[in-house]
Structure 1
């Protein structure tokens, strides 16, 4: 397959003769029979391994940087790209020629890209990073072959139409099985061997199948987690309506038949707040709604099951910076 991605390491590093010129970095895994280049400038080091087959182009980039670096990249042809972040101290970031962020990819995550020809840049964090990737032609997914791969449909349509906009897939987990496939692929490469083509494409298919599985698992789990988080919000609001400030969030564990830590984690994941913060928000909203309706501060306090107007006043002051009297005055002065 023709090389369609040029990683311009020469713009930030100097090419050196061999691995003996490097002081710290070692390639792992090693792409057997690959074309390998070594790079160094100061304490920064990099190793680029590349291997081409008839239908897939493989690469592995190891870097060791003292601080965040940005590598220019040129894409020459219309292909589908896959990138696995096997190691990194922070998310890697891909930008287009105008400096617009295309994606952020954390350690242990993978992503598929449709990249039209053009100039891009890849920002890699300080410390040791390892990126493994490959690109292939869309004909791999002709006719019935593409049906199980819903997550790739937008990318494949864009590739076939050769649109000029970047398209990315959902990211997915790079787990133990994915890493095992990548190691097996790297070990089994053999240059100019007929059987190599079927070997490579067999493992590539396994990796794509595994990506589809991981994305489906995460989507299913996300749907379940979100459903629980939404149910928790509704149930807590009902308890606040019924019991006011006497509502305890541990009631949700019995309501949802899940431990409270799990429910709390799901809610924070989807809504950015813990259940205790949600309880405060719901109680504050109900208090203001009662005051808005014309109910006085004392009646509102008892409606919310406070022992006294003062206790209710302290709650309102703490969470809205207004006493009940100040809040009611603000209603009267509102246009």
Structure 2
């Protein structure tokens, strides 16, 4: 996607060739730029994908500064505040639109074209964002993303008023999958755009369960376990055998023991048993697409064929070949 914004750093910021501080997170194959102004340092990493533009800013600020940003074209952004010492105040010039960037929170934004300002307080800050292709979220899938409808409508109408979604919690699970995305980007392989889209789609789906207005209200038990099952299915689709029940619990801010107890109560089996059933279904579907067991194992997140074969035997009593033949018959 085209980059549609410009950092308008003043003349005191000088480009440098080598970072003064080590980056906290490295985006593989990203374009990198570094600037210094006195004791202030700003690092930029960007990657231009077909369906999204990824940007990463890490700042060490010794003297509070305000950074102007020009947005040339209206777009939808997903923006995470991964780290922030204090609060970054942001606003659009000559309008009433203003917002705060606070550590551990993210949000979707429709940014209208115009001039914006970020007021960086003293400290260490990390901002990660994506410019999204609004066409990714279309009917009927958009029914699950009603919180994005006002932003998508504004983008379509080229509204001059910026908008913001409810906040999204940004914790260890989100960071884990952001780092996974950073490590997978590789423009030198044919399926790079698919990989980027797959990981971005997962992050967007995950954000549905991390909306602040949802998470702050107490969950009714049946609703909670329904969400847990939905998140688990999403994790398995994205990671296969690497999907962890602990990530489900962390996403919902509850204990794994509590989820297991509720699953036993409402569905008559342990949550781990349900995970194993989902994994077996996932393997069955992959076997229909792949003839070789090694390819199936890779596609379903196992370290190799032997690990997948053990999983199948432990939970069905069948060999991989017998399991495949049984799957064909059903």
Fold shared by both chains (TM-score > 0.5): yes
TM-score, structure 2 normalization: 0.63
CA distance in 1, matches of 2:17, 2:176: 31
1:60 to 56, 60, 85: 56
Equivalent residue number for residue 219 of structure 1: 213
Tell me what 1:39 maps to.
35
* RMSD of Structure 2 on Structure 1 (CA): 1.7
**Counterpart position of 1:204:** 200
State whether residues 12 and 71 of structure 1, in contact with CA within 8 Å, keep that contact through their aligned partners in structure 2. Answer: no
Cross-structure match for 1:121: 117
Instruction: Note the alpha carbon deviations across 1:148-181, whole angstroms, 9 max, x for none.
Output: 0111111111111111100100112101110011
| TM-score, L = length of structure 1 | 0.62
Measure, in 2, the Cα distance between the counterparts of 1:11 and 1:207.
37
Q: Deviations over 1:131-161 (max 9, x none)?
A: 0111112111121121101111111111111
* CA distance in 2 between partners of 1:81 and 1:111 (Å): 8
**Bigger radius of gyration, 1 or 2?**
1
Partner in structure 1 of residue 5 of structure 2 = 5
Q: Could you tell me whether the CA contact under 8 Å between 1:93 and 1:101 is conserved in 2? A: no
Q: Does 1:81 align with 2:74?
A: no
4+ residue runs over 6 A deviation: none
Partner Cα distance (1:224, 1:180) in 2:
26
Could you tell me whether the CA contact under 8 Å between 1:11 and 1:71 is conserved in 2? no
Q: Is the 8 A contact 2:7 2:69 kept in 1?
A: yes
SS of aligned partner of 2:94? coil
Matching residue within 66, 85, 100 for 1:104: 100
| 2:68–2:115 CA contact under 8 A, matched in 1 | yes
Structure 1: gaps (5+ residues): 226-335
Kept in 1, the 8 Å contact 2:39–2:63? The answer is no
Structure 2 unmatched runs, 5+: 220-330
Partner of 1:245: none
- Give the structure 1 partner of residue 150 of structure 2: 154
Partner of 1:188: 184
